[in-house]
Amino acid sequence: MKPRVLVAMSGGVDSSVAAALLREDGYDVVGVAMRLAPEPSAPASTAPVARRRGTCCSHDDFEDARRVAERMDFPFYVIDLRADFAARVVDNFVAEYLGGRTPNPCVMCNREIKFDRLWSRARALNADYVATGHYARIEQGADARFHLLRAADDSKDQSYFLFTLGQDELSRTIFPLGAMTKTEVRARARALGLATADKPESQEICFVPDGDYASFVERRSDPSQLRPGSIIDSEGKRLADHAGVHRFTVGQRRGMGIASGERLYVREIRAKSGEIVAGPREELDSSGLIANRVSLVDDSIASGGELSVEVKIRYRHRALPATMRVDSARRAEIHFAALGPAVTPGQACVFYRGEEVLGGGFIERAITAQLAT
Amino acid sequence: MPIYLDHNAGAPLRAEAAAAISQLLTKARGNPSSVHRSGQRSRRMLEAARAQVAAAVGAEARQMVFTSGGTESNNLAIFGAITATSRRRKIISSEIEHSSILAPLAELERRGFEVVRVAPDSDGRIDPTRVLAALDSDTALITLGLANSEVGTIQDLAPLASVCGATGVLFHIDAVQAVGRIPVDVAALVCDLMTLSGHKLGAPAGVGALYVRDAARIAPIAFGGPHEGGMRAGTPNLLGAVAFGAATEAAMNSMRDESDRIGSLARSLLRRLRESIPGLRLNGPLSGRLPNTLNLTFPGVLGESMLIALDLEGVEVSMGSACAAGAVEPSHVLRAMGRSIADARSSLRISLGWNNTADEIDAVAETIPAVWRRVADAEPLSEVSVR
C-alpha cells in the first residue's frame, strides 16, 4: 500500500476527482469533508418542518462527497473545524473589513485551515500527505527544493490562493489536478461514474452564500465597531454620507449613493476617520504597492536584493511586470514596470516568475498614484 | 473484522434472532389480522413474540405494544400521555435524556406546555426528590431514562413508584439501555409506561415496544386500524417482532453470566487504559452503572480525532451524537453533568456487548493508548479551537 493521504473533499467535482485519482493510483485515501461555516441559528419559535436534505448539517455537498467515497471504496468522515475556521478565518475577515481593507478569505483558509489545521489532523490519522482539488502544480527540483507552479489549465489556475505554502507544506501536499484541464477533470469524473461530474462551479465565498458581505460583517460585529462617515472627493469636499467603511472596497464604483456627472470610484478608505475618498478612474492608478506578512515559497530567493517578478494583485487580474524587494520584517516594496490598476488593501499580491509562484503577501497600501495627465 | 464497541448505539444481530428471521423469510405469509389460517399462524407468532418481550420486564403480553423502535415508543408515551390527560400542561423529565425524549419535549414546549428538566449530579444521577418537588396537580407525565445511554448511570427510580398512581400523573421509563443488561421489572418500578428497543438487544433495528400498564390511559398518535389494541395502527412488523422476541429471550437467558463477563472485560479495559493514559477520566459513577458502558475523557485530544483514528485502526466506538451530515457533536449529557465543552469534546463512549471477546479487549487495550499518544502529539487540544 502506498502512503496514506488525507483528501479534503468539498463535494464538488474537483476534489472528488482528486480523491478518485489518488485511490486509482493505489494511495491509502482517507476522505474528509470539513464543516467550516458558522451556521445561522434558526429562531426557536419556528415550527420544525420536515426537510429531507439541504440544511446546513445534512449538507447535500457532504452527501455527494460520501457517494464518491463509497463508489471509490475509501473511508470518509465529516470533521468539525468550525471553531478553528471562526477563529482563524472568519474573525480575520470581519476585522479586515472593519479596518477598511478587502480580505481574501480563501487565501487565509488555505494557510490556516487546509494546509495547517488539517495537516495536524492528517498526522493524528497517521497520514503522510494532504491532498486537495486545487488547480496548481508542485514539482521537486534536482536540488530537492519544492516549486509551486501555475496549473496547466490557465483558466482554472488557483496558484494565487496558495502563495503562503512554504517548503514544509509543499513537501506534504499533493495537487492531483495540477496537470489537467477542467474539461479533462469532468470527463474523468464521468468515466469514473462520480455523482459530482456535472455539478456547477461554486463561486461565492462559502460562508457568505448570499454574497452580502456587508450584512455578514454587521451580524458578526458590535455596532460600536462599525465606522460610518462621509464620502469625500480628493479635495476633501463632502459628497455624501455612508453607513460604514466595511461596505466599501477600493476600486469599486457601485453603491456610492452619489448622483454625479462623472463616474466615481472608491480611491481610499480611511477606517479611523470613517472617510471614503472617491475620485474619477484615473486617480486610482498606482505605480506600485507595499505588502506585509510576505511569505516566500523558498526563502533562499530573498537573499538577492531586488527581484524582477510579475505581480498579481487580484485573482482575476493579469500579472504585471514589476521589481520587488523584501525586507527583514517581511514587508515588500513593489514597483510596477508600467502604471497599474487600483490597488486594494487587504487583497493578496502574489509574485510569479513565469510559471512559478515565488511567494506573496497582503497589500498594505498603494504607492503614490501618479496622476494621469 | 473491526472490533465493535458501540453496542449502546446498536448491537449486532444475535444468532437466535437471525435464525428466527431466516425461518420466517422462507415460510411465513399472511397478515396477522387476516381470518385465514396463514393469517392465524402469523398472529400466533406475533403473540408468542409479544409474550417473550413482555416476560423480560415482568409484564403481561397484552400490555406490550409493538412499535418501530425506541423513538416511536417514546413519542407514543409522551404525546399519547399528554393527549389523554388533556387538561394537565406540565411534563417533568431530565437534562440527560435521549433525543427521542428531549425532542418531543421541546416540541411540546413550543406548543405551550411547561417542561421541567431536572439537572443531574456530576455522575449523571437524577435526584428523585427534585423530581417530586416539581410534581403538582398540573403534571401530566414524568418521563425518565432508567440507564443513561452515554455514560451508563443507572437511576434510582424507586422513590417515584408510590407517587404516580396516587396523583394521577403518568410515569414513563425509557428502559432502552437497561433491558437485557440489568434486571428490569415493571411491577417493582411501578411505572405506567416503559420503552424497549429491539436492536439494543440483538434484534434488527426497526422494532421496539411500549409497555402500557392496564390502568394507564394514553391516546394513540397514529390512526388507521385496530392493530396493537388500538394503540398503534399499521400492519405489525412480524419479522421484526419475531426477531425481537428471540433476541430478548436469548438476552434474558444469558443476562446474569453475560453481564458478569462483560462487566469484568470493561473493568479490565478501564484498568489497563488508566495505566497507560495518565489523566484518563471515567465519566459517571463507579457503582450503579451499566456493566458494559465506559464513557472516558481522554486528556489533551479531540474525541472526534480519536474516533476517526480508532476507526481507521479497526476499533469502533462513539462520541456524543452524530448530526445529519455525520459529524459528531459533544454530548449534552456530559455538559449537563458539568463537564466543560472541551472535556465533552475529548470524551468517547465505549460500549461492550454480548459478542465481545477477551482477545478483542486485549487488542483494544493496546490500540487505544497508542492512538491516544499519536493524536495528543499531532493535534494537541491546546492548539485547536473548541466550542
Q: Are residues A249 and A313 in the same domain?
A: no
Q: Are residues B244 and B261 in the same domain?
A: no
Would residue A135 count as lying in a domain? yes
Q: Are residues A167 and A241 in the same domain?
A: no
Do the beta carbons of residue B117 and residue B93 sit within 8 Å? yes
The closest CB to that of B375, out of A30, A79, A124, belongs to A124
Would residue A80 count as lying in a domain? yes
Would residue A199 count as lying in a domain? no
A300 band by pLDDT with thresholds 50, 70 and 90: confident
Q: Are residues B245 and B293 in the same domain?
A: no
Instruction: Decide which of B211, B232, B250 is a domain's last residue.
Output: B250
Residue range(s) defining the domain that contains residue B282: 3-9+255-383
pLDDT at A285 over 90: no
Backbone angles phi, psi at A29, to 5 degrees: -85, 130
Partners of B92 in beta bridges: B116, B142
Q: Are residues B167 and B208 in the same domain?
A: yes
A42 in contact with B at a CB cutoff of 8 Å?
Answer: no
* ipTM field: 0.91
pLDDT value of residue A371: 45
| A308-347 per-position pLDDT tens digit | 999 999 998 999 999 999 998 999 999 999 998 889 999 9
Q: Are residues A96 and A176 in the same domain?
A: yes
Asked if the Cβ–Cβ distance from B385 to A83 is below 8 Å, we say yes
Instruction: Give the CATH number, domain containing residue A89.
Output: 3.40.50.620
- Cα of B326 to nearest chain A Cα, Å: 6
Q: Among the options A56, A57, A109, A349, which is catalytic?
A: A109
Q: Alpha-carbon torsion A357, A363, A365, A371, what sign? A: positive
DSSP A125-191: TT-SEEE---S-EEEE-TTS-EEEE--SSTTT--GGGGTT--HHHHHTEE-TTTT--HHHHHHHHHH
DSSP A325-367: EE-TTS-EEEEEEEEE----TTSEEEEEETTEEEEEEEEEEEE
Q: Are residues A70 and A101 in the same domain?
A: yes
pLDDT value of residue A369: 54
Would residue A33 count as lying in a domain? yes
B257 in contact with A at a CB cutoff of 8 Å?
Answer: no
Of B328, B271, B313, the closest CA to residue B296 belongs to: B271
- Cα of A79 to nearest chain B Cα, Å: 6
Q: Is A206 a catalytic residue?
A: yes
- Identify the closest residue of chain B to A74 by CA–CA distance: B312
Of A200 and A96, the one with more pLDDT: A96
Q: Are residues B190 and B301 in the same domain?
A: no
The closest CB to that of A121, out of B110, B305, B311, belongs to B305
Range B227-242 burial, b when 16+ CB lie within 10 A, else e? bbeebbeeebbbbbbb
Q: Is A109 a catalytic residue?
A: yes
Pairing of strands B64-67, A356-367: unpaired
Q: Are residues A238 and A324 in the same domain?
A: no
| A35-85 per-position pLDDT tens digit | 998 765 544 555 555 554 443 434 688 999 999 999 999 999 999 999 999
Instruction: Decide which of A141, A166, A191 is a domain's last residue.
Output: A191
pLDDT value of residue A40: 59
- Identify the closest residue of chain A to B372 by CA–CA distance: A124
Q: Among the options B35, B323, B324, B327, which is catalytic?
A: B323
DSSP A285-335: -EEEEEEEEEEESSGGGGGGSSEEEEEESSTTSPPEEEEEEE-TTS-EEEE
Q: Are residues B62 and B201 in the same domain?
A: yes
The closest CB to that of B305, out of A83, A88, A124, belongs to A124
| A127-154 per-position pLDDT tens digit | 999 999 999 999 999 999 999 999 999 9
Instruction: Give the CATH number, domain containing residue B135.
Output: 3.40.640.10
**Would you call A152 exposed, middle or buried from its count of C-beta atoms within 10 A (0-12, 13-18, 19+)?**
middle
Interface contacts (A, B; CB < 8 Å): 72
Q: Are residues B242 and B365 in the same domain?
A: no
- Counted domains in chain B: 2
Q: Are residues A251 and A318 in the same domain?
A: no
**Cell numbers placing B36:** 385465514
Q: Are residues A149 and A292 in the same domain?
A: no
B111 in contact with A at a CB cutoff of 8 Å?
Answer: no
Q: Are residues A30 and A84 in the same domain?
A: yes
A1 in contact with B at a CB cutoff of 8 Å?
Answer: no
Q: What mean pLDDT value characterizes chain A?
A: 90
Q: Are residues A33 and A140 in the same domain?
A: yes
Pairing of strands A265-270, B90-94: unpaired
- E strands within A202-306? 229-232, 238-242, 265-270, 275-279, 286-296
Q: Are residues B289 and B219 in the same domain?
A: no
Asked if the Cβ–Cβ distance from B325 to A84 is below 8 Å, we say no
Would residue A214 count as lying in a domain? no
Pairing of strands B139-145, B90-94: parallel
Instruction: Decide which of B201, B221, B250 is a domain's last residue.
Output: B250
Backbone angles phi, psi at A40, to 5 degrees: -65, 130
Asked if the Cβ–Cβ distance from A79 to B327 is below 8 Å, we say yes
Q: Alpha-carbon torsion B223, B226, B229, B232, what sign? A: negative
Q: Give the CA count within 13 Å in the CB-facing half-sphere of B226.
A: 3
* Among B75, B305, B310, B329, the residue to mutate for chain A (most A Cβ within 10 A): B305
B379 in contact with A at a CB cutoff of 8 Å?
Answer: yes
Q: Are residues A261 and A308 in the same domain?
A: no
Instruction: Decide which of A167, A191, A215 is a domain's last residue.
Output: A191
A107 band by pLDDT with thresholds 50, 70 and 90: very high
| A2-19 per-position pLDDT tens digit | 899 999 999 999 999 999
Q: Are residues B110 and B57 in the same domain?
A: yes
Residues A298 and A303: their CA atoms lie apart, in Å, by 11
**Cell numbers placing A126:** 497517521
- Identify the closest residue of chain B to A61 by CA–CA distance: B325
Do the beta carbons of residue B364 and residue B370 sit within 8 Å? no
A50 in contact with B at a CB cutoff of 8 Å?
Answer: no
pLDDT at A255 over 70: no
Q: How many CB atoms lie within 10 A of CB A145?
A: 15
Residues A239 and A230: their CA atoms lie apart, in Å, by 7
Of B193, B201, B184, the closest CA to residue B240 belongs to: B201
Residues A158 and A178: their CA atoms lie apart, in Å, by 9
Residues B217 and B192: their CA atoms lie apart, in Å, by 9
Asked if the Cβ–Cβ distance from A33 to B323 is below 8 Å, we say no
- Strands in A265-270's sheet, in edge-to-edge order, are A238-242, A229-232, A275-279, A265-270
Instruction: Give the CATH number, domain containing residue B272.
Output: 3.90.1150.10
Give the single-character DSSP code of A8.
E
- Please write down the HEC assignment for all residues of chain B: CCEECECCCCCCCCHHHHHHHHHHHHHCCCCCCCCCHHHHHHHHHHHHHHHHHHHHCCCCHHHEEEECCHHHHHHHHHHHHHHHCCCCCEEEEECCCCHHHHHHHHHHHHCCCEEEEECCCCCCCCCHHHHHHHCCCCEEEEEEECECCCCCEECCCHHHHHHHHHHCCEEEEECCCCECCECCCHHHHCCCEEEEECCCCCCCCCCEEEEECCCCCCCCCCCCCCHHHHCCCCCCCHHHHHHHHHHHHHHHHHHHHHHHHHHHHHHHHHHHHHHHCCCCEEECCCCCECCCEEEEECCCCCHHHHHHHHHHCCEECECCEECCCCCEECCHHHHHCCCCHHHHHCEEEEECCCCCCHHHHHHHHHHHHHHHHHHHHHCCHHHCCCC
Chunked into runs of 10 residues, chain B (387 residues) has average pLDDT values of: 95 96 86 91 96 98 97 98 90 97 97 97 97 93 97 95 78 97 94 96 97 94 90 94 98 95 98 98 96 97 97 94 73 96 96 96 98 98 90
Q: What percent of chain A has pLDDT over 90?
A: 74
Do the beta carbons of residue A348 and residue A363 sit within 8 Å? yes
Q: Are residues B145 and B25 in the same domain?
A: yes
Partners of A359 in beta bridges: A296, A351
3-class DSSP assignment, residue A267: strand
pLDDT value of residue B29: 83
Q: Are residues B107 and B37 in the same domain?
A: yes
| Residue showing cell 398540573 | B138
Asked if the Cβ–Cβ distance from A125 to B323 is below 8 Å, we say no
pLDDT value of residue B327: 74
| A162-188 per-position pLDDT tens digit | 999 999 999 999 999 999 999 999 999
Residue B380 CA to its chain's centroid (Å): 33
Q: Are residues A42 and A155 in the same domain?
A: yes
B308 in contact with A at a CB cutoff of 8 Å?
Answer: yes
Instruction: Decide which of B204, B222, B250 is a domain's last residue.
Output: B250
Would residue A200 count as lying in a domain? no
- Identify the closest residue of chain A to B104 by CA–CA distance: A48
Task: Return the H-helix or E-strand segment holding A35.
Answer: strand A28-35
- Counted domains in chain A: 3
Residues B91 and B81: their CA atoms lie apart, in Å, by 10
Give the single-character DSSP code of A87.
I
Q: Are residues A160 and A249 in the same domain?
A: no
pLDDT value of residue A163: 97
Q: Are residues B59 and B152 in the same domain?
A: yes
Of A281 and A302, the one with more pLDDT: A281
- Cα of B81 to nearest chain A Cα, Å: 21
Residue range(s) defining the domain that contains residue A267: 227-282
CB contacts of B2 in chain A (<8 Å) are none
Q: Are residues B211 and B264 in the same domain?
A: no
- Cα of B250 to nearest chain A Cα, Å: 34
Rg (CA), chain A: 22
Instruction: Give the CATH number, domain containing residue A269.
Output: 2.30.30
Of A9, A105, A5, the closest CA to residue A61 belongs to: A9
pLDDT value of residue B370: 98
pLDDT value of residue A370: 53
